[in-house]
Amino acid sequence: MTSAPPSSTAEDEDLLLAAARTGDEAAFAELWAAASRPAFGVCYHLTGNRADALDALQETQLAAWRGLAAFQGRAPFRAWVLAIARNAAHTVVRRRPPGGPLLAELAEEPAVAHSFEDAVARLADLRRALATLPAPQREALLLWAGGLTYEQVAVSLEVPLSTVRTWIHRARRRLQAGLAGG
C-alpha cells in the first residue's frame, strides 16, 4: 500500500516555515494566524481569565518565533504552538500571587444562548465542570478541543496514545455528567 502524497496544506506549511525561518515575518504571521485562536482557547481555559490568557498567548507567540529554528516538524506547527501555549499558561498561573485565580470575565466569549445572562450561566457551568477534572484530563481535552488529533495530544503531553484516549474519554463523560446535573 502506498502512502498518499502530502496535502497542499502540509506543503504550504513547509514553505511558510522555511520562509519564516529566514526571518520572513509575513510567513510567520500566516502560520500564527492559523494557530493563534486555538492557542488562546488553551491559554484561557488553563489560566481562567482573559488578561492572563493574553499574557500567555503573547509569550507563546514570542516563544514560537524565537524557537522556529529548533522546531523539528514532527507534528504540525499548530500542535507545536498549542504545546507552547500550554506551558506558557502554566507559567502564568505559577507566577500569580497567592490567593487563587482571578475572577474571569465570564462573558468574554459567551456560549450560544437565548440571553446574555443564559450565556454567562452556561459558561460559568462549563468552567466549573472543567475545574473538577484532573489536570491531565483537562489539558488533554482542551488540546483535543483546540483541534489536535489524539496522536498530536499524545506527542504534546509526552504520554502514550492510549493514555490520551482514556483521559479524553473520561473527561468528556465527567463534563457531560457535570453539566447535566449542574
Kindly state the average pLDDT of the residues 17-39. Answer: 93
Predicted local confidence at residue 15, as pLDDT: 92
Question: Does this model's pTM top 0.85?
Answer: no
**Is 46's pLDDT higher than 90?**
no
Confidence grade of residue 48 (pLDDT, cut at 50, 70, 90): confident
Predicted local confidence at residue 112, as pLDDT: 45
**Residues forming CATH 1.10.1740.10 domain(s) in the chain:** 10-96
Looking at CATH, the fold of the domain delimited by 10-96 is given as Rna Polymerase Sigma Factor; Chain: A (1.10.1740)
**Is 31's pLDDT higher than 90?**
yes
**Residues forming CATH 1.10.10.10 domain(s) in the chain:** 115-182
**Is 143's pLDDT higher than 70?**
yes
Predicted local confidence at residue 2, as pLDDT: 42
Question: For domain 115-182, is the CATH number 1.10.10.10?
Answer: yes
Give the pLDDT confidence of 50-64 residue by residue, as tens digits: 888 999 999 999 999
Kindly state the average pLDDT of the residues 6-16. Answer: 74
Give the pLDDT confidence of 144-182 residue by residue, as tens digits: 887 788 888 888 888 998 999 999 888 888 888 777 765
Kindly state the average pLDDT of the residues 85-113. Answer: 62
Alpha-carbon distances of 30 from 16, 25, 27, 36, 134, rounded to whole Å: 8, 9, 5, 10, 34
Q: Who has greater pLDDT, 73 or 83?
A: 83
Q: What is the mean pLDDT of the chain?
A: 81
Predicted local confidence at residue 97, as pLDDT: 65
Predicted local confidence at residue 12, as pLDDT: 87
**Is 67's pLDDT higher than 90?**
yes
